[in-house]
Structure 1
Amino acid sequence: MAVQLDEIRATAQRVAASHNLELVDVEFQGGVKFRTLRVYVEKSAEERAKLAALAAEGKVEDLPKGVPAEMLSGVTHEDCAVFAQDFGTVLDVEDLIPGAEYTLEVSSPGLERKLLRAEDYIRFQGSVIKVQTFTPVNKNRHWQGRLTQFSDGVLTIDLSAIKQKGKAKKAVTEETIAISLTNVEKANLVAEI
């Protein structure tokens, strides 16, 4: 019996909302044995705004220096533990993962989080990102630079913001590159610490 990832995702969103959290991503890996369900959560937009306000006032002491508060998910170990307890119970009661054995892992998306939705590109404008495309752009599939703009499904990356390596170094003829979101195979933030 197959795992219904869409049902699991919808359930995770429902449970996360009850804890002032937002679902970032869900991954299911493994075969018959050693199956793992990974769930990435972060504080809701309202909770992140509160964290950013506290950080601006200097009232949050444990933020890494030089890291913008918006890049942090604000999720604590306790948030993950409480969510995992409630979500695990719902998974078992609703039998969303057939079979008895699986491991549930819950964590924040991290500083080098994946960029999955258009909202992520809007939120993280101004951040350094790494992008891999399905088809080459200027004879290269791997790009790294500062995301300067995202509009109409196209992300603009400032390549001069970071020293280019490999094929990208040879492919750079301009300071910016435009990549369609439909051509993005995977993308993630690059931590600037």
Structure 2
Amino acid sequence: MSSQVVKTTEELVQPILEKKNLELVDIEYVKEGKNWFLRVYIDKEGGIDISECGEVSEHLSEKLDEVDPIPEAYFLEVSSPGVERPLKTAEDFTKSVNKNVYVKLFEPINGEKVYEGILVDFSNNTVTIEYKLKTQKKQVEIPFDKIAKARIAVVL
């Protein structure tokens, strides 16, 4: 059910975003407590503002009312992915070279399942991260299909 809602929402929102030169980052359909939330994360080069989120929300809400793919009551939220935006596609990784990233793996590489450091390269479906181990700089190459979750990491 959840994956069908996400798929239908993606089909409905994509033309709206294309008209406005916006990018779909992620869609979630989740239950929190007794409430359902349909969250659509959008972005563009240089960031997105609240009025753009509002416009997309309004247009998407109309489309969702027409198609009515969700039987239960839910809250629609359209927002920016924030500074720790998720990295899901090869394009996301390519755009994030030289940025600090957090990557969680399905299975360990060199005994570790989590890496945080600078994304120095993404090519041939391999993510290369430079990270610090105590005082030494090291690099790890991670096959794209071994990544469970990844996001931009804010360094404080």
- TM-score normalized by structure 1? 0.74
The CA deviation string for residues 97-140 of structure 1, in whole angstroms up to 9 with x for no partner, is 223x1100111111111100011110110001011101101111
1:6-33 Cα shifts (integer Å, max 9, x gaps) = 1211111122112221111100001894
Counterpart position of 1:146: 118
**CA deviation profile, 1:130-156 (whole Å, cap 9, x unmatched):** 111011011110111100000111111
Aligned to 2:48: 75
Report how far residue 191 of structure 1 moved: 2.1
Whether 1:93 aligns to 2:93 is: no
For the pair 1:120 / 2:97, whether they are aligned, the reply is no
Q: What 5-or-longer segments of structure 2 have no aligned partner? A: none
Superposition CA RMSD, Å: 2.0
> Once the 2 structures are TM-superposed, how far is the Cα of residue 183 of structure 1 from its aligned partner?
0.5
3-state SS of paired residue (1:8): helix
1:109 corresponds to: 81
| TM-score with structure 2 setting the length | 0.90
Q: How far 1:173 moved relative to its partner?
A: 7.8
Structure with the higher fraction of residues in strand conformation: 2
Give matches, 1:173-192, under 5 Å: 175-192=138-155
Counterpart of 1:69? Answer: none
Q: Distance in 2 between matches of 1:81 and 1:95?
A: 20
Count of matched residue positions in the alignment of Structure 1 and Structure 2: 154
Percent sequence identity over aligned pairs? 32
Tell me, in whole angstroms, the C-alpha distance in 1 between the residues paired with 2:16 and 2:131: 40
Structure whose alpha-carbon radius of gyration is higher: 1
Change (3 A) 1:32 1:9: farther
| Counterpart residue number, 1:28 | 29
What runs of 5+ residues in structure 1 fail to find an aligned partner? 49-71
Shift of 1:174: 6.5
Q: Look up the equivalent residue of 1:28 and give its one-letter code.
A: Y
- Pair 1:32–1:131, CA change in 2 (3 A): closer
Counterpart AA for 2:143: S
Contact 2:130–2:137, Cα closer than 8 Å, also in 1? no
User: CA 1:118 to 1:17, structure 2 compared with 1: closer, same or farther past 3 Å?
Assistant: same
Q: Which residue of 2 aligns with 1:66?
A: none
